[in-house]
Amino acid sequence: MRKILFLLLLVAGSVQAQELNCTVKINFDRITNANTQIFKTLERSLTEFVNKTRWTNQTFGENERIESTMFINVSAYSSDQFSASIQVQSSRPAFNSTYSSPIFNFNDKDFNFRYVEFENLIFNPNSYDSNLVSVIAFYSYIIMGLDADSFSPKGGTPYFELAQNVAILAQQGGSKGWNQSDGNISRYFLINDLMSNTFAPYREALYQYHSTGIDVMSDDLKKGKENIKNSIKTLAQIYELRPNALLTRVFFDAKSDEIVSIYTGGPSIGIADLVENLNRISPLNSSKWGGIRF
Q: Please, what is the angle between helix 37-52 and helix 131-151, to 10°?
A: 40
Domain definitions of the chain by residue range: 20-195, 200-289
* Cα–Cα dist 47/68, whole Å: 11
CB 246 within 8 A of CB 185: yes
E strands in 30-80:
66-78
A 10 A CB-CB count for 78 gives 10
Residues, the chain, total? 294
* Cα–Cα dist 166/142, whole Å: 11
* Cα–Cα dist 190/183, whole Å: 11
Q: Residue 176 has what DSSP assignment?
A: T
pTM over 0.75: yes
Which pLDDT score, from 0 to 100, does residue 232 have? Answer: 98
Instruction: Please count the CA atoms within 13 angstroms of the CA of 278 that sit on its side-chain side.
Output: 25
Q: Which of 68, 67, 65, 69 is nearest to 27 (CA)?
A: 69
Residues of the chain with pLDDT under 70: 1-17, 294
* Cα–Cα dist 107/104, whole Å: 10
Give the contacts of 29 (CB within 8 A, at least 6 positions apart): none
Which pLDDT score, from 0 to 100, does residue 267 have? Answer: 86
pLDDT tens digit string along 31-61?
988 889 999 999 999 999 999 999 998 877 7
Q: Residue 56 has what DSSP assignment?
A: S
Distance of CA 13 to the CA centre of its chain: 22
Give the contacts of 28 (CB within 8 A, at least 6 positions apart): 34, 36, 39, 74, 77
Which pLDDT score, from 0 to 100, does residue 97 have? Answer: 92
In the chain, the amino acid numbered 186 is: S
Which pLDDT score, from 0 to 100, does residue 243 have? Answer: 93
The torsion of the CA quartet 66, 263, 215, 18, rounded to 10 degrees, works out to 0
